[in-house]
Amino acid sequence: MSAAAPHFRRELAAVGSVTVRFGRTKGGTPGEWRAGSRSITLDNKRGDTAHLRGTAVFEILNAAAAPRVAALENEVRSGGLDVQAQRSGWQPAAFFAMEVERIEWENGLRHRAVVAAAGGAGTGADLFSAEGDFNTFYGRQVRAGHTHSYEWRYSYLREEAASEERRRRAAEGTAPSRTDQGHGHPAQESYRR
């Protein structure tokens, strides 16, 4: 980590203070960023030291990208992302998942640059040396089922926004419109990919 630190100062500054813990991750992965506790959890049973170092760098990049994900989530809540998706010919949940995956892909590219600059290219810390273009990466993520949680998150955020709107209208004494009735689950929709 200390060798990589000078090569991504901006991201480290954006993240601020972070605690690194060793233990089990919720998703069974080598590591994960936990925004609520401002911590990175690394599972030393899921990788050797070099791999866990690379994982820690990636999770710091994910933490630094959290404002971009939050902005996307705000677009979901406001309905603005639905408009963007329709203009692009995508179902909104799939479009949201694709845009979150794009952030992760960009983090992978940045990770590769940071690790290479720190002298770790070709080592166990070099987690993303084989990444291709975004479309190839995205297709692999879809096939692996990685996008499902983001599609679910989209539906959750839309339902949360609709519920808040219903509460607001009830407090004001106005009736909800048809579009305020919720948005279903992505498993009920067919997606254009």
Q: Which ranges constitute the DSSP H helices of 39-79? A: 49-64, 66-78
CB of 82 closer than 8 Å to CB of 40: no
Residue 50's contacts (CB-CB under 8 Å, 6 or more residues apart) are 120, 123, 124, 125
- Per the structure, the count of domains in the chain is 1
- For residue 64, being part of any structural domain is answered with yes
Statement: residue 165 has pLDDT above 70: yes
Range of the domain at 43: 5-188
pLDDT of 151: 96
- For residue 149, being part of any structural domain is answered with yes
Mean pLDDT lowest for which of 57-71, 83-97, 116-130?
116-130
- Model confidence at 1, pLDDT cuts 50, 70, 90, reads low
Residue 65's contacts (CB-CB under 8 Å, 6 or more residues apart) are 103, 106, 107
Compute the distance between CA of residue 41 and CA of residue 24 in angstroms, rounded to an integer. Answer: 7
DSSP reduced 3-state for 166: helix
- For residue 139, being part of any structural domain is answered with yes
**Residue among 121, 126, 115, 122 at smallest CA distance from 3:** 115
CB of 51 closer than 8 Å to CB of 125: yes
pLDDT of 187: 41
- For residue 133, being part of any structural domain is answered with yes
Statement: residue 192 has pLDDT above 60: no
- For residue 193, being part of any structural domain is answered with no
pLDDT of 189: 40
- For residue 68, being part of any structural domain is answered with yes
CB of 41 closer than 8 Å to CB of 31: yes
Statement: residue 36 has pLDDT above 70: yes
